[in-house]
Amino acid sequence: MFGHVIPGVASLRASIPAQRAVDYYLVWLVFLLVLRYWRTAPEGCTAICATVGPEGDTVFDELIAAVLVSRPARLVFACNTVLAAEQVRRFLADFRVSFEAGKTRYQRAYSLPGFAFDKHTEISVVDVNVSNKRQQLVAGMQYV
């Protein structure tokens, strides 16, 4: 649950020997090499999609499939209007069937199997009521 704070704590921990070391560049090099291979698990990640809705967007289904294949803990759609939020909810209901069958364009293009994504990913659709991607992202952060 707190895996995302480990790199920050490690950086603080590395700064202490770096201040005392004769060759502090070597300390930071070792730290960066260790940090380079630090990976978080998808179960600890949240994807936030600031959107105006799926209408007219030809790659919306590919976006959702690409995110869901990595099995994040949460997927938050921060929509700019109530109408866009309703469109996303309706789209997800139809999308679920094709994704579970492995028939989305993204899954076919990369030969990926279908699975029930609701076992892995909690999906939230939020109406932000603002057409500004930064503010939509900030509103979506409340659901992380």
**Statement to judge: residues 122 and 85 lie in one domain:** yes
**Statement to judge: residues 54 and 25 lie in one domain:** no
Helix, strand or coil, per DSSP, at residue 15: helix
**Statement to judge: residues 15 and 59 lie in one domain:** no
**Statement to judge: residues 48 and 27 lie in one domain:** no
Residue 90: predicted pLDDT: 97
Q: pTM of this prediction? A: 0.74
Domains held by the chain: number: 2
- 128 C-beta neighbours (distance < 10 Å), count: 22
Give the domain range for residue 24.
1-40
H-state helical runs in the chain: 6-20, 24-36, 60-69, 82-100, 105-109, 133-141
Q: How confident is the prediction along the chain (144 residues), in pLDDT tens digits per residue?
A: 566 677 778 888 888 888 888 888 888 888 888 877 777 777 878 899 999 999 989 999 999 999 999 999 999 999 999 999 999 999 999 999 999 999 999 999 999 999 998 888 999 999 999 999 999 999 999 988
**Statement to judge: residues 4 and 28 lie in one domain:** yes
**Statement to judge: residues 59 and 118 lie in one domain:** yes
**Statement to judge: residues 51 and 10 lie in one domain:** no
CA separation (Å) from 119 to 35, 43, 57, 73, 122? 31, 11, 27, 10, 8
**Statement to judge: residues 34 and 58 lie in one domain:** no
**Statement to judge: residues 35 and 58 lie in one domain:** no
**Statement to judge: residues 36 and 56 lie in one domain:** no
- 132 C-beta neighbours (distance < 10 Å), count: 12
**Statement to judge: residues 24 and 48 lie in one domain:** no
User: Angle, to 10 degrees, between the axis of helix 82-100 and the axis of helix 60-69?
Assistant: 60
**Statement to judge: residues 24 and 85 lie in one domain:** no
Structure tokens at 68: 């869901």
